[in-house]
Amino acid sequence: MKTFCGRANPTTGALDWVEESEEYDYHQEIARSCYADMLHDHDRNEKYYQGIRAAVARVKSRGEKVIVLDIGTGTGLLSMMALTAGADFCYAVEVFKPMAEAAGCIVKRNGFSDKIKIINKHSTEVTVGPDGDMQTRANILITELFDTELIGEGALPSYQHAHQNLVTAGCEAVPHRATVYAQLVESELLWSWAQLQPLQVGGSRLAPPPDVALCAGAHAVCDVQLSQVSPQSFTPLGPLCTMFSVDFSKPVSSAFQSHTSGFVARSGGRAQVVLSWWDIEMDPSGSIVCSMAPSWTYTEPETAPWRDHWMQSVYFLPQERRVSEGEELSLTVCHDDYSLWYSVQSCSHQAVLAPPGRPCCTCQAHLVWTRPRFGELNDRRRTESFVSALRSVLRDDSVCLSVSDGSLLPVFAHMLGARKVYGLENSRMSKQLIEQLLEANSMKGGVELLEVRPEQLSSADLGDQQISVLMGEPYFSTSLLPWHSLFFWYCRTALAGLLQPNATILPCSASLHMVAVEFQDLWRIRAPCGTCEGFDVTPMDDMVQRSLDFRESREAEPHPLWEYPCRALSPSAAVMTFDFTQCLPQQPISSQGSLPLTRAGRCHGVALWMEYNLTDDVTVSAGLTGAVGEQGECKWTRHRKQGVYLLRSPWENSADGRAAMSYSFTFDPRSGDIKMDFSVQAE
């Protein structure tokens, strides 16, 4: 059955009606659900298998029949592990219907369909009894309900219901226990993701609005690959604290709780950020541990397991505060049924403060700007590039129009002396935020912000003036892939009738760049999963594998490559150029060519990014931040996601081998899509 869905096109800005089938949705959901990553996580699989075998053995030693409840079964892997370990029967619960159907196929293929019952329900809807989903309560509870924050996928309510309704008292649980750890740090880098910092523009200081500086920020966790944040980027103010543990073999509560850990400050500084992660113990003795700790906590960092389905958490304190070396502090974590938040207090206070409520943005900035966007706005070098470019094109009589979302460019233009500055904003909230910034810096009225689409802008909106400088970062909140920022080109074309004949366009052009790469770990998210090393089961059937491969060979996907190390195996090169000084062409733009693979390694695919030529002399990159290293080392901007195109099969390039990455790109101005194709061939 076909359905039509209306979607805003991030490149053209138009509403597109997309035809989709049920099968398409099935493929997309499974392909984006991290199953390949989890199934390639050997450390996770091994620890779960060890814990399951131990739990089955303990139940059997008591002379009991082993009945397993597996909540969130996914592919059915953990249920099959339990049967392999000697369980008598498994109830495998999976709420996502396509995945439940796939699990049924996988279980059947492995010969367990008579001992595993797939239940396509949320676990809180499962019933027990002669006419229920389960004939009897289970005495082993196996779950994989965790996310980076541990409880963000509703683990606590699910456990609470399971203990009340689905498992026996004193049941075995795998995992048996989870423990959350946290460390208070000062970090200019991480804090720049939470608060707008003062900026220097043309010798003047631009300060954030007071409401922004005093705002507690957004409550959502910031999950990152903390292994890629260098320990030199932060200063620990205290030791790693054990915040709380949850024993999954006993009744669990999803009610609000708070936990406090006291410590003595190891150094003075600004308490700004809490780094946090957790581990799970698979058995009561704690001898089988699966840890989420970042690699720099390991004696040998290279031995740390890599995983993308579970990462580490960064929490921003509601306000930064000064602490002194030797000061007695208490770090408090609060949680409801789905999220955690932190606060810090000096123990010298006479009164013990009540646990704070969940932080909530009151300034609108944390609703308008994402964490990477905060980092981008706080990037001094990037600001200097825009200020330098603007200074070179602005005149005393300049009439400027800015087209970007939540941008500071119109503020910069006003501070640099433009006669009149307009800005187009996509939302009222964004418009109000920039107005707050202007008022806080005594520039109210210096910039006129218009909440109107480019194609709807009229000469009357501009006071019958023509635009002499059209500018953009370009940044748009709807962009996912790097080339979605070509929406600026569509805006420039729509505004052509309002431009002076020799108007300056900034950026004047953009180029799409690519480099062939070998990924350290990211390749695992789309790698085939036909077998599971170390276990006598096949966790992936052909149908699910096709889902994981569904769009891999035809489309790129966005990833923040600073979190995912890779090596360049070819030179980087501009493969398409877009001239913003001209209107959009009527016909598609195509580009073909090849890049030699100049370094030995396994080529997993290509990385793609945009670079913007603000002027002939100033360029801003949304990808590589410098030259590729001698061994192919790549440094990526933390502010934007890059495009990643993974080859269906990696190419092994030997030191003396001669091969090239062929590419073909076609930009269709009607759809805004860039179709691409790549192949590696020996020369």
Q: Which of 20, 29, 46, 153 is catalytic?
A: 153
Q: Could you say which of 144, 149, 281, 320 is catalytic?
A: 144
Residue 23 is among the residues annotated as catalytic for this protein = no
- What are the distances in angstroms from CA 82 to CA 173, 236, 249, 496? 12, 42, 17, 66
Encoding tokens for residue 167?
Answer: 């498992």
Rounded Cα gap, residues 166 and 177, in angstroms: 19
**β-strands 509-519, 601-613: how paired?**
antiparallel
Which pLDDT value is given to residue 218? 85
| Residue partners of 270: CB distance under 8 A and separation at least 6 | 186, 191, 320, 321, 322, 323
Q: Is 281 a catalytic residue?
A: no
Q: 107-155: per-residue pLDDT in tens?
A: 999 999 999 999 999 999 999 999 999 999 999 999 999 999 999 999 9
Whether the predicted pLDDT of 29 surpasses 50:
yes
- pLDDT > 70 in the chain, percent: 91
The string of pLDDT tens digits covering residues 212-243 is 989 999 888 999 999 999 999 999 999 999 99
Tens of pLDDT along 460-503? 999 999 999 999 999 999 999 999 999 999 999 999 999 999 99
Q: Which two tokens stand for residue 163?
A: 């203990």
* Mean pLDDT along residues 325-344: 95
Q: Answer whether residue 36 shows pLDDT above 50.
A: yes
Instruction: Kindly state the average pLDDT of the residues 323-340.
Output: 95
Q: What would the two tokens of residue 492 be? A: 């420039």
Contacts of residue 60, defined as CB under 8 A and 6 or more positions apart, other chains included, come to 66, 86
Tell me the two tokens of residue 232. 């030199």
8 A C-beta contact, residue 197 and residue 207 = no
Q: How high is the pLDDT of residue 552? A: 41
| Tokens standing for residue 372 | 């990477």
- Same fold yes or no, 379-506 and 509-520+565-682: no
8 A C-beta contact, residue 448 and residue 223: no
Quote the pLDDT of residue 202: 85
Length of the chain: 683
pLDDT at 551: 42
DSSP state of 624: B
Q: Position of tokens 């009610």?
A: 255
Q: Quick check: 19 pLDDT over 70?
A: no
**Distance between CA 407 and CA 428 in Å, rounded?**
13
DSSP per-residue letters across 629-662 = PTT-B--B-SSSPEEEEEEEEEEEE-TT--EEEE
Q: What residue segments make up the domains of the chain, in order of their start?
A: 1-141, 178-360, 379-506, 509-520+565-682
The pLDDT tens digits of the residues spanning 574-589 come to: 999 999 999 999 999 9
Residue pLDDT, tens place only, 443-455:
998 999 999 999 9
In this structure, which amino acid lies at residue 219? H
Q: What phi and psi, each to the nearest 5 degrees, are found at residue 567? A: -115, 140
Domain 1-141 sits in CATH at: 3.40.50.150
pLDDT reading at 616 higher than 50: yes
Give the global pTM: 0.93
Judge: domain 509-520+565-682, CATH 2.70.160.11: yes
Q: What's the rounded Cα separation, in Å, for the pair 487 and 672?
A: 8
The alpha carbon of 635 is separated from its chain's Cα centroid by a whole number of angstroms, namely 18
The answer as to CATH 3.40.50.150 being correct for domain 379-506 is yes
- Tokens representing 404 are 């970007």
Q: Is residue 533 over pLDDT 60? A: no
pLDDT at position 18 is 61
**CATH label, 178-360, candidates 2.70.160.11, 3.90.1310.10, 2.60.40.1220, 1.10.274.50:** 2.70.160.11
What end-to-end distance do the CA atoms of the chain give, in Å? 46
